[in-house]
Amino acid sequence: MRYYFLGFLLIWMTSKTNAQIKGVVLRQDSTKTSPIENAKIRLSHSNQGVFTNKDGRFEIVLPKLLPDTLIISAMGYLSDSIVVTKNDRFVAFTILLIPVSTKTEIVYQLRKNSHQISKMETLHVEEIGSGELRKAACCNLSESFETNASVDVNITDAVSGAKKIQLMGLDGVYTQIQMENIPYLRGLESSYGLQSIPGTWIESIQITKGTGNVVNGYESMAGLVNLEIKKPNEMEKFYFNAYQNRFGRSEMNVNAGTKINQKWSTGILGHASSMFGNIDHNKDGFRDIPMGDNLAFMNRWAYQGKKMEAQFGFNVYQDRKTGGQTSYFRDNPNGYGVVMNSRHADLYAKTGFFSKKPLRSFGVVYNLKYQLINGAFGIRDFQGEEKRAYINAIYDDIIATSDHKVKFGASFVGLQIRQQVQNLDQLRTEIVPGIFGEYTYTGSRLITVLGARYDQHFTYGGQFSPRIHAKYALTQRADLRVTAGKGWRVPNYMIDNISLLANSKTWIAPSEIKSEISWNAGISLVKDFIVLEKNGNISLDFYHTLFQNQLIVDRDVALDAIVFQNLANSSYSNSFQVEMSYSPIKNFELRFAYKHLDVKALYDGVMRQQVMIPKNRGFVNLAYRTRNKRWEFDATCTIYGSGRLPVILQASGLEQHDEQSSVYPMVNSQITHIYKKWNFYLGGENLANFRQLNPIIDAHNPFGSSFDANRVWGPIMGWNVYMGVRYAIKQK
């Protein structure tokens, strides 16, 4: 029955074809030709319209009544028009706009969907805009995915408050996280870095499932998350945000952007937060959330000339947390305590040079990073230090026409990382030069990206990584995407699993460190539809990841130890997700999603589902904005299915096997009132008040042999209420 339904769904999604055209809008300046973002494309008679993306590309569905006139306009450029007929179905246009010299002020007001799957991208890219980020408290990156069904954010233990993301059921270390295409949150930041990036700094997030483009590196194994930070020439002239919740968490954010002249602009982004509540709702003697503070600052500059563009800046933060028993404080270490101190500093620069030839450019990305982390779980100490240098040079060009694009480049990674956990000590130096090439063919209905890169690791040898991505327009409203490729990484088993120090078990290190290799293949189908003259969208995707060599954490093979071991072709992940959005009335949007995860590996000689990963997850989001744009209402309900729990040894000496976590809901909601330049918001989290009972095993004997704070599968905190205020002055 299921296959009949899928067949019917596929037939329905590929039927009812009208026509579709696509194209690219370019600007012609005195010395170069470059894409125009947010150019308006409008059909005169049907009054349909779209806007170009950052690459100047657009796609628009033609009405049944043709011919019609396509009007192309952008602020500061002479408008153009094209008459389109039925013969132009699936035609691709290249449109060149000429700048005008005028003092007339033209204001364009547009509102894009705050959450959408990009129709322009060849890969399956889910875009989370600033409007979506405002639907939740969004105090840091780990809370930016509360209204998203693709990315899961999980608490790693019950004492440190650390969070990690999961994409397609795989640990966050297999997802490449970038800040504007610069590798970020890797190495020593993999465990605690999510909470170091304030949500108010983020302009948008792009989530790519499967292996990404070879341009972005070799570490994209499950997917890629790219963070776009507010740009100096586009961000608010002044922005202020204050937040307070009932648990004692306070935050303040201040951003400011300035256009110095026509070429230069700069921006500063500041953040300060503290958690001063000594909360223990379940009365087990341990804090439900650690106390501490976080300070972060970023300064960025941008230059835009006729022949080149440049961005550079620096980012620093300090994060301190104190968890454990409620009697434990930094200045009074009494009992079992958890202390974490992180310091970070990085410098970055991006330069781009343009040619007179259209779409020819050369860019270089630079990054220097220093990370220091130290702390303790009870009597178990850990320390880490990381120094990293990164360079990526990219040359873009076309062959004859823009239908044939090529990219070539070279990258370099230099890394020195030291990790120490009790008697385990590891110092590793990595030197990894690499080269890559990518070819993109853009046809009327088919876009294909063929890429390959070769990286020479001076310790682990060379790795060749081929990748292929394709998008095919089944109809004017349905796109089919396929992807396949290889990714690899060198694991940092200590910091990647540092939260596993929150128990009494001994660590058994792997006999040798090997590079992890994975092959990922996926397919997705995205369909726009109209029901009762209202727009909707449905997407289905399936991804399979096969590990050639994976370093797993086996918590089943020994009750008194955590064993790290490499598996050869004995672990995989299958991920299926269906998501639908529909707007039954104006300004009201519904989103539904269902996700199934089959993630297995060889544990104690048996293929088993990985622990702490629910097989099923349901998701519902409702968003409404009043017609006068004064009020915004948002509600999200996520249902988490059961997952396998690791074997444990109770204080009584009995073993617990084959336990499953409970099914539970997570309900969040927020109301926002907009008054001129002010936003006032009131929200609630975990409004169903579900809490995992006794998340810490043998909490009254934290230094005993059965103590375990890692069996966390649900929320520890009860219901939460927060409030806040935003104030913004926009640049002209």
Domains and CATH numbers, the chain: 19-97 (2.60.40.10), 115-729 (2.40.170.20)
Residue 233 in tokens: 């020439």
Burial class (CB in 10 A: 0-12, 13-18, 19+), 300: buried
H/E stretch holding 2: helix 2-13
Q: Kindly tell me the sign of the dihedral angle through the C-alpha atoms of 188, 191, 196, 200.
A: positive
> Which contacts qualify for 246-250: CB closer than 8 Å, 24 or more apart?
246/720, 246/721, 246/722, 247/275, 247/277, 247/279, 247/289, 247/717, 247/720, 248/275, 248/276, 248/277, 248/278, 248/279, 249/139, 249/273, 249/274, 249/275, 249/277, 249/722, 250/274, 250/275, 250/276
pLDDT of res. 95: 84
pLDDT of res. 274: 95
pLDDT of res. 533: 82
pLDDT of res. 109: 42
Residue 92 in tokens: 């691709």
Residue 484 in tokens: 């396949």
Task: Write phi, then psi, for 523 (nearest 5 degrees).
Answer: -140, 140
pLDDT of res. 70: 84
Q: Each residue of 489-535: pLDDT tens digit?
A: 999 999 999 999 999 888 998 888 899 999 999 999 999 988 888 88
Question: HSE (CB half, 13 Å, CA atoms) of 412?
Answer: 9
Q: How far apart are CA 432 and CA 412, in angstroms?
A: 6
**Residues 209/211/212/213 CA torsion (nearest 10 deg):** -150
Strand bridging mode 223-229 / 202-209: antiparallel
Q: How far apart are CA 607 and CA 618, in angstroms?
A: 26
Q: Kindly tell me the sign of the dihedral angle through the C-alpha atoms of 691, 164, 143, 256.
A: positive
H/E stretch holding 406: strand 401-421
pLDDT of res. 343: 96
Helix and strand tally (H, E) in the chain? 3, 43
Q: CA distances (Å), 411 to each of 365, 406, 613, 725, in order?
A: 9, 17, 35, 43
First to last CA, the chain: 58
Positions in the chain short of pLDDT 70: 1-19, 28-32, 47, 87-91, 100-113, 649-658
H/E stretch holding 13: helix 2-13
